[in-house]
Chain A
Amino acid sequence: AQKVTQAQTEISVVEKEDVTLDCVYETRDTTYYLFWYKQPPSGELVFLIRRNSFDEQNEISGRYSWNFQKSTSSFNFTITASQVVDSAVYFCAPSGGGADGLTFGKGTHLIIQP
């Protein structure tokens, strides 16, 4: 079973600021996956990234980047030059290697003010 902690319940920043969302996970699996999903105000859940536990390379996709630190069991998400459209609830979710579904954190509500 996996556990995940997103300690930041809500973050509010002004547009164009950089912001980092924290995620700390717990797992007993040697192979696992880590995911981030976005839930905009419209309510749907949108996939952002999947990371294999064997791959500790940081990843960048446009203004989004992810920092995976296996030593501290963290998988943090940074948005550079935030925009109002980034306002959403962001969920970190670990999954075991057996594809048994995702364990979602409580989410971080990100508010980008114009």
Chain B
Amino acid sequence: DAGVIQSPRHEVTEMGQEVTLRCKPISGHNSLFWYRQTMMRGLELLIYFNNNVPIDDSGMPEDRFSAKMPNASFSTLKIQPSEPRDSAVYFCASDKGREAGANVLTFGAGSRLTVL
């Protein structure tokens, strides 16, 4: 099992550019979560999907952020346009899904985003 795979691991971009972060969950996991970690705000849940359907996106900071899950093995988090305050580590995590109860989230290694 390769675990949750995120790419890119590091991204440096300039303000105003579009940023796309990618995530491949563990095969067989039905829920996928996007978290953001900053020094000031800690770990925040941005959005989560169950069976590829967005369930709660109330944590998405603003309209510049969007997330999709076109199939069970792939999700993207897009920021357009990016701003310096978006600089953070973005984690993707997956678990077995709502039907299985509160299972253990397995996290990817994270994508460190720096917006200049």
- Contact surface of A with B, Cβ cutoff 8 Å: 32-33, 35, 43-45, 47, 50, 91, 95-107
Q: Which residue of A lies closest to B31 (CB)?
A: A99
B102, A45: Cβ atoms closer than 8 Å? no
Nearest CB of B to A37, in Å: 8
Closest 5 CB pairs of A and B: A104-B43, A45-B107, A33-B102, A95-B102, A99-B98
B110, A102: Cβ atoms closer than 8 Å? no
Q: Which residue of A lies closest to B112 (CB)?
A: A43
Question: Which of the residues A50, A91, A106 comes within 8 Å of B102, measured between beta carbons?
Answer: A50
Specify which chain B residues have a CB less than 8 angstroms from the CB of A102 in the assembled complex: 45, 105
Question: Which of the residues A35, A44, A104 comes within 8 Å of B109, measured between beta carbons?
Answer: A44
Query: Using an 8 Å CB-CB cutoff, how does the interface string of B82-114 with A read, 1 for contact, 0 for none?
Result: 000000010101010110111111110110000
Q: Which residue of B lies closest to A107 (CB)?
A: B42
**Main DSSP-derived SS at the A contact region:** loop
If A101-B105, A102-B105, A103-B45 are given as contacts, then 4 extra A-B residue pairs at C-beta distance below 8 Å, sorted by A number, are: A96-B102, A98-B102, A100-B98, A104-B43
- Contact surface of B with A, Cβ cutoff 8 Å: 31, 33, 35, 42-43, 45, 48, 50, 55-56, 89, 91, 93, 95, 97-98, 100-107, 109-110
A98 and B98 in contact, given A43-B89, A107-B42 (Cβ under 8 angstroms): yes
**Main DSSP-derived SS at the B contact region:** strand
**A-B pairs with beta carbons under 8 Å apart, 14 shown:** A43-B89, A44-B107, A47-B105, A50-B102, A96-B102, A98-B102, A99-B97, A99-B100, A101-B33, A104-B35, A104-B42, A104-B43, A106-B42, A107-B42
Count the A-B residue pairs with Cβ separation under 8 angstroms: how many? 54
B110, A97: Cβ atoms closer than 8 Å? no
A99, B104: Cβ atoms closer than 8 Å? no
Specify which chain B residues have a CB less than 8 angstroms from the CB of A101 in the assembled complex: 33, 45, 48, 56, 105
Question: Which of the residues B35, B55, B98, B104 comes within 8 Å of A47, measured between beta carbons?
Answer: B104
Q: Which residue of A lies closest to B43 (CB)?
A: A104
| Complex CA distance for A94 and B89, rounded to whole angstroms | 21
Q: Which residue of A lies closest to B109 (CB)?
A: A44
Specify which chain A residues have a CB less than 8 angstroms from the CB of B98 in the assembled complex: 98-100
